[in-house]
Structures are given as C-alpha cells and as structure tokens.
Amino acid sequence: MAKADKSPEGTSSPAPKDGEKLQKVLARSGLGSRREMERWIEQDRVTIDGKPASLGDRVVAGQRIEVDGRPLAAGDGEKTRCLLYHKPTGEVCSRKDPEGRRTVFERLPKVKSGRWISIGRLDYNTSGLLLFTTDGELANALMHPSANIEREYMVRVMGDVTEENISAMLEGVMLEDGVARFTDIQSGGGDGINAWYYVVLMEGRNREVRRLWESQGLTVSRLKRVRYGDLFVPSKVKKGQYQELASNEINGLYRMAGMPAKDVEPPSREDRNKHKRMEGKRGRVRGNKHAKDDFGSRDARKEKSGKGRKPGSKSTSAPKNKRRTRD
C-alpha cells in the first residue's frame, strides 16, 4: 500500500474514523484468524504508517501496514484457497509442537501469500476431516458459535450404553464450560467394547465429544470426524493426504459463513504435480507410527458385509440422506 501523507513534523495522519478494523484486514489477508491478529497487535508486531498499532485501530486504503517489518501488499487476501485434510491420529493442530510431534501443517502445500489457517481443531488422538483456508475471516466466521454448522463424528464407545445415557446427551449435560448436547445420535452397530455411534454437534468446544460420553461414565476409544457441514472425507483421500476444494465447495463454505464468495486462487503447477504423486500412493502414512491406529480395516469389512449404521436407531431426528465415507 502507498504511504499515507505525513505532517511537517513527520507524524502520521490522524487515525481515520471510518475504514475497517485492522485485525479484520490482517485476517482477510491470510495471516491468521482475527483473534490471532489481535494478539499480534498486542505484541507490537504490527505498525500503521510506521507507528505501533493498537487494538481498535481502523485503516483505509492508502495507509501503510507492516507486519514484523514487512509491508502488507494491497492484493493480499483478494483470492482464496481451501482444502480438506484427512488427519490421522498422532498429529497436533498447532504449527509447532514443543514435544516435537508431527503437526497437521507439515503435509500441506505452500501458498504464495499468507498462510494456511485451520478451521477448528482435532485433538491428538482424533482423526478425520479438517479444513484449511488462506482466508482468516472465513475461518473466523465458520468457527464462531453463531455459525451453527453441523459436525458429525464416528465414535467407538466402551461400556454399556443405555437409553438414559442417550437421552441425557441429547437433552443436554452440564460440563465445566457450560451445557453441551448432541443434536443427533445414531447407532453404528456393535456392542460391549465394540459399540459404534454417529453423533452430531453444532459447535467445536475442546474434547466436547469425549467429555459428553465421559459424563455418562463411558469411554471413547476411537473418534473420527466424518462430516463438516455438507463436506465429507472422500474415500480416495487417505489418512495424511489432502484435496483442494472445488469452486462450488468453497462457495458453499462462504454461504455457511454468511460471507460473499471470493475468487479461487488455483494451485501452482508444482502443487498440482505433488498432488498427483500423492494420489498415486496407497493410504499408508509414512513416518507416523500412530497412523494405522484408526478405523480403516474394520470399516472396510463392515461396508463389504453390509453391516454398520442402522438408520433411524437411537435418534431424535430422521437420518440425513447423505453418504458417510469411511477409511
């Protein structure tokens, strides 16, 4: 951006009363979520016209914004990329891990500007669908509780599950951070230590699925997210692999967020070639000793035998006419 006009004394022009909030502009450029950008501002990593920025600052076109001494280009954030990642167990959702564990960001393709931002998180022992975008505003809107986006999980539960347990989790349970509930619970077959369920949440609090089952004296031994809104894990996307979302899928995310859609930035030729090589590989994830500790072989056998989820069982609503893709 061009520098703002300076006064004779060399000070920057008065802060504009109009314009956009600084953290919103930074998030839209793909540097991170709005909350993360607020932390950067508090840490004095951002300047406006050479002066340290403050929370609450607004900016207009023509002002010079710098992050860690690097200018924010005017075109940053005008286009977007989104992808779906099939997270295996044994990976953390932070960019760096003090314990040296693998992170979900290590396998993602490079971006020309900004960086990948995860839309929500999955804990270390949870696998499944995880979305990424270069648009921090989109990530912020989709993660906000008011978005009311369905998240569906496949769960293996240890213990005797009763109708009372199911009813309690559907009606709502008081956890340490407030009331939580599933909006749908469907039986996936099995019994005893091998009972499977599909559950749906409308929010993404930390370990919420596990804590809801634990409130009933039951233990979750396997957990995988199979759906986010209208998006499922494609069967061809194996654990540790990703797939760029098509324009119509990205537009669907913007609709869920209540935001106008952006133009899609196509992946580079290098990324396309890398993705083709990845698609040619089998589902085995290299360098991750936890990768096979997942659902794959069991679910494949259930699909072939015709067993599995029993539509309409233990549910307060009719099952959705959507196909759940398993490993």
Which are the contacts of 325, defined by CB distance < 8 A and separation ≥ 6? 226, 232, 233, 234, 235
> Which residue among the candidates 49, 76, 123, 299 is catalytic per the annotation?
123
- 304, with CB counted inside 10 A (0-12, 13-18, 19+), is exposed
C-alpha 86/C-alpha 150 separation (Å) is 18
Match 């607020």 to its residue by tokens: 38
Instruction: Please list, residue by residue across 241-250, b when 16 or more beta carbons sit within 10 angstroms of its beta carbon and e when fewer do.
Output: bbbbbeeebb
Pairing between strand 178-180 and 151-158?
A: unpaired
- 88, with CB counted inside 10 A (0-12, 13-18, 19+), is buried
Segment (H or E) for 270: helix 269-279
Known catalytic residue at 271: no
| Alpha helices by DSSP H, 67-196 | 136-143, 163-171
Chain-centroid distance, C-alpha 64: 31
In 3D space, the residue among 233, 195, 194 whose CA is nearest the CA of residue 87 turns out to be: 233
In 3D space, the residue among 203, 195, 156, 200 whose CA is nearest the CA of residue 177 turns out to be: 203
C-alpha 72/C-alpha 69 separation (Å) is 9
Whether the CB-CB separation of 236 and 325 falls below 8 Å is answered with: no
What are the residue numbers of the active site? 123
